[in-house]
Structure 1
Amino acid sequence: MTAVAAAPATRTRTASPYRLTFGHLLRSEWIKITSVRSTWWSLGITAALSIGISMMIAGASSSFGPGFPAVSAILMPIQFTMLVAGILGAIVITGEYSTGMIRSTLTAEPRRGAVVAAKAVVIAALMAVVTVVTYVIAIVATAPLLAQGIDRSEPSLSIVPLAYGVLSMVAFTLIGLGFGFIVRNGAGAIASTVGVLFVLPIVVTMFTMAGEGWRWIVDLGRYLPMNAASTLTAPGAEDIVPALLALAGWTLIPLLIGWGVLRTRDA
């Protein structure tokens, strides 16, 4: 008898018969984000803080002098609501890591760049809509408290700063999302986001009391996210291109690094 050697078995990869389209991925992310109570708690707190602080500022506006721009009463609460926006962006993704849902997400959609993009689009759109609605309510609520209403005939004193306010809130949310993808831990991502949005501007302010040798730190501080947003939302602001570029950089760089981390590490 002649022995016949069995041919070694070969493995073949079978392509998945179903691949999510980007539209399906957006719908999936929308369901995941809006079905979590923490999302609505964060958005509700953001809206309540913004409207409440705006009304307090409007009520005290008479003591600020006749030149106080009414639109500032709507935009000044960003200094506080930015933290809630950033934290929301962070927990949107770190919650998936803590529950293990990220594995299901990447199984359904292996293209990790598409996952980052879809989550960013959904949370950015949600924050933009909520911010617009919040501003509308705040404008109506503060109108009886302001000595002079918002000048709608001059876009640079009304529509433009409000639009940059919406843009800034979206940017703060995406910064938190980027740190969430990078750190993958809720506490760590929140700490990183709060550090960049809140702590660093305070540290930079301390150097204003130092000598000229430390002036460069103060100059660089103008390009921190919060300071860039303050420049953009100032009524009648000029030379806004550097502030726009700084805010765009702080938004895109964490997301790109987070995408790189997601590509190189196991979920």
Structure 2
Amino acid sequence: MIDAVAAEWWKLRSVRSTYWTLAAVGGFFLFVLLMAFQMAHIWDGLSAERRADFTLRPLQELGAWAAALCLGVLGVLSVTSEYRTGMIRTTLAVMPRRGTVLAAKAAVVGTVALVAGEVMSIGSLLGTRLVVGDRPFPDQRASIAHDLPDFAVAGTSVVVFALLGVSLGVLLRSTAGALVSVVFLWHVLPLLTFQLPEPWNERVGSVLPGALPGQVAGRSADHSIYGDLLSPAAAAGVMLAYALVPLVLAGIVLSRRDA
């Protein structure tokens, strides 16, 4: 297993798409900071009455949201690039145990996603707080220590999308098809769910991937397109299922299908 993980790590580092994807994460982090500077500048020019409704938290949460898409794309490309180049045949010839190959790839991609997700999520929190300084934004009155666990949990959602990307890459063997599926789960499906009649919009919205980190942290989904009907333990279980069930299905398909 160690050799398989080392091989997958080498393959992930050897393709340009990995660096482009991580560069996109870093670029979006800079974008969040620039937006924070802009909002702080706007705040300085507002009257006292208008400042009462001025919020920053949705901007902070963009970090993990954007990282989820980028690492989902990385998960897809880590698989489909091997099918496109034919490298998958070499991999399976050297390492015939296909389940081990998939587990190693998931471990490597998941670890990269966890690091990137936590850096992006917590970095967005700390970076925007640094930019805000002592400006009394209505939604920034809680201490960093109070908000930090929420953002740490949000960072783990990036891993879910990365592993979904790996699973979809194996199941579909198509870069375009897998990327469309990731984007659909990441952004399109939540918007469609929001349009459902009550109470189905909240019921379905509570089990979508984007809704789970907030529920694990025990946060309300007020002013969100998601729901918050699950307990923290139930939300954590659903989150784990999103990561593992597609991966198990991908392992079954990979073991029964020609490369």
- TM-score for the superposition, normalised by structure 2: 0.80
Aligned position for 2:104:
118
2:74 aligns with one of 82, 88, 96: 88
Task: Tell me what 2:249 maps to.
Answer: 257
Match of 2:152 in 1: 163
Q: Is the contact between residue 82 and residue 169 of structure 1 (CA under 8 Å) also seen in structure 2?
A: yes
Instruction: Sort the Cα spacing of 1:230 and 1:135 in 2 relative to 1 into closer, same or farther, 3 A.
Output: closer
Contact 1:94 1:185 in 2 (8 A): yes
Displacement of 1:81 = 3.2
Distance 2:145 2:63 in 1: 24
Find the counterpart in structure 1 of residue 209 from structure 2: 225
Distance 1:245 1:79 in 2: 20
Partner letter of residue 43 of structure 1? L
Counterpart code for 1:168: S
Offset from partner CA, 1:62-115 (integer Å, 9 cap, x none): 577489576x64333333332222111111101101111011111111111111
Please identify the structure whose Cα radius of gyration is greater: 1
Distance 1:216 1:73, change over 3 A: closer
Q: Deviations over 1:106-130 (max 9, x none)?
A: 1111111111110011111112222
Alignment of 1:11-50 (within 5 A): 22-50=1-29
TM-fit CA distance, 1:231: 3.4
2:86 aligns with 100
Shift of residue 164, structure 1, vs aligned partner: 0.7
C-alpha change, 1:226 and 1:135, in structure 2 (3 Å) is: closer
Q: Does 1:266 align with 2:233?
A: no
8 Å contact kept, 2:121–2:152: no
SS of structure 2 residue aligned to 1:203: helix
Identity %: 29
Aligned with 1:128 (options 114, 123, 142): 114
Measured in 2, the distance between the counterparts of 1:133 and 1:179 equals 25
**Residue 178 of structure 1: how far off its partner (Å):** 0.9
Distance (whole Å) between structure 1 residues aligned to residue 81 and residue 210 of structure 2: 26
Tell me, in whole angstroms, the C-alpha distance in 1 between the residues paired with 2:36 and 2:155.
Answer: 19
Shift of 1:170: 1.1
2:181, 2:88 → 1: CA distance? 21
TM-score, with normalisation over the residues of structure 1? 0.78
Task: Tell me, yes or no, if the aligned pair for 1:128 and 1:167 is still in contact at 8 Å.
Answer: yes
Structure 1 residues without counterparts, runs of 5 or longer: 1-21
